[in-house]
Amino acid sequence: MLAQRKWRYIDDIIKKLGVNIMLLGNTGAGKSASGNTIMGEDRFLEHFSPQAVTYFSELANTVVDGQRITVMDTVGLSNTQVKISEAKRQIENMLKEKDVHVFLLVVRLGDKFTEFESKLLKWIRQNFGADIFKRTIVLFTHVDQLHEPVERYLHESKSLQSIIHQCFGRYHVFNNRDKGRAQVNELLEKIKKVRMMNGELSRYSIRDYRKVQHDLLMKDCAIGAAVCGVMFFMIAPALGVGKAAQTGAMIGTGLLALAAFLGVIILARKCFS
C-alpha cells in the first residue's frame, strides 16, 4: 500500500517535470521519423532523399495527456556533410537549453549492422561518458519492413544483442508508418521506468557533457605530449645530438611539452567555460 502510494507520487513528479528525450544514431536510422511519431505530428524533416538530410539538430515540444514532451533530434553522426565538430557543437547547444532524461539510440532494423554502428557506440561512450547507457533505450525502426518476427531477428544478431546488452537490456520497436499511439505510449512507459530506476530527478546535463569532454581533451593532451617526447628521443640520435646535448635537449623538450600541455589546458578551459 505504502509502496503503491510512493510509486504514484513519483509518477506524479515525473509527469509534472515532463520528459526530455534526445535521439542519437546514424543518418537514415529513422531519428526524425521517430521524433515525429512521438510528437504525433510532422515536426522534423525526414530524409526522403539525400538532399533532404537533416543538417541541423532540432528541438520540438508537445503536450500529451498533460505531460510535456521535448524531443531533440540530432544530425546523423554518419552524415559526411556535417563535420563531427559541428555535430558536437549542435549537441552542446541543445544541452545548454535542456537536460536529457532519456536518450534513444535509433537503429534501423533490416540493415546490416555495420562497422560504423559499432564505432558510433564507441563514440557515444567516449563523448557522453559510459553512464549515458544507464539512461539509454535502443529504438529499432522499420519493423514493418522486416520479414520475420523481431524477436527472432534480434536473437539471430549478435551485434544487435550486444547493443541491447550495453543498454541494460532496454529496447523498443517502432513502425514509423503506424500513426497509432500504442507504440508511443509503450515507449513512454519504458522511459518512465528508466527514470524511476535512475532517480526521478536524475538528468544528463551540459555539466555532465562538459566534464566528459574536458577529460577527453586532457587524455588527448597527455597522449600528445607523451608522443612528442618519445619522438624527440627517437630522432635525437639521428640528428647527431651528443649525449651532453641530449640531456640538455631532454630537459628542453620536457619543458616545451609541459608548456604546450598547459597551453592546451588553458585553451580547453576557455572553450568549455
Ligand X SMILES: Nc1nc2c(ncn2[C@@H]2O[C@H](COP(=O)(O)OP(=O)(O)O)[C@@H](O)[C@H]2O)c(=O)[nH]1
C-alpha grid cell, residue 243: 649525449
Residue 243, H or E segment: helix 243-272
Q: Which one, of 86, 82, 79, 97, lies nearest residue 22 by Cα?
A: 97
Residue 213 found at the interface with ligand X (CB under 6 A): no
The three cell numbers of residue 221 are 593532451
Spatial distance between the Cα atoms of 220 and 216, rounded to a whole number of angstroms: 6
Phi, psi (rounded to 5 degrees) for 51: -75, -20
Q: Quote the least distance from Cβ 50 to ligand X, whole Å.
A: 11
Distance between CA atoms of 127 and 209, rounded to whole angstroms? 7
Nearer to ligand X, 21 or 33 (CB): 33
The yes or no reply on residue 33 touching ligand X (CB under 6 A) is: yes
Which residue's CB is nearer to ligand X, number 141 or number 253?
141
Window contacting ligand X (CB under 6 A); options: 63-71, 136-144, 158-166, 262-270: 136-144
Site for Mg ion, residues 54 to 83, rule: CB under 5 A: 54
Q: Which does 144 bind (CB under 5 to 8 A by kind): Mg ion, ligand X, none?
A: ligand X
Tell me: does residue 213 bind Mg ion (CB under 5 A).
no
Q: How far is CA 35 from the centre of its chain?
A: 16
Binding mask 164-193 for ligand X (x = CB under 6 A): ----------xxxx----------------
Of 227, 230, 215, which is closest to residue 125 (Cα–Cα)? 215
Q: Which does 98 bind (CB under 5 to 8 A by kind): Mg ion, ligand X, none?
A: none
Site string for ligand X, 68-87 (x = CB under 6 A): --------x-----------
Residue 54 and residue 76 in contact, taking contact as beta carbons nearer than 8 Å:
yes
**Cβ pair 105, 25 in contact under 8 A:** yes
Q: Which of residues 101-130 bind ligand X (CB under 6 A)?
A: 106
Which residues of the shown chain bind ligand X in the complex (CB under 6 A)?
Answer: 25, 27-33, 46-48, 54, 76, 106, 141-142, 144-145, 174-177
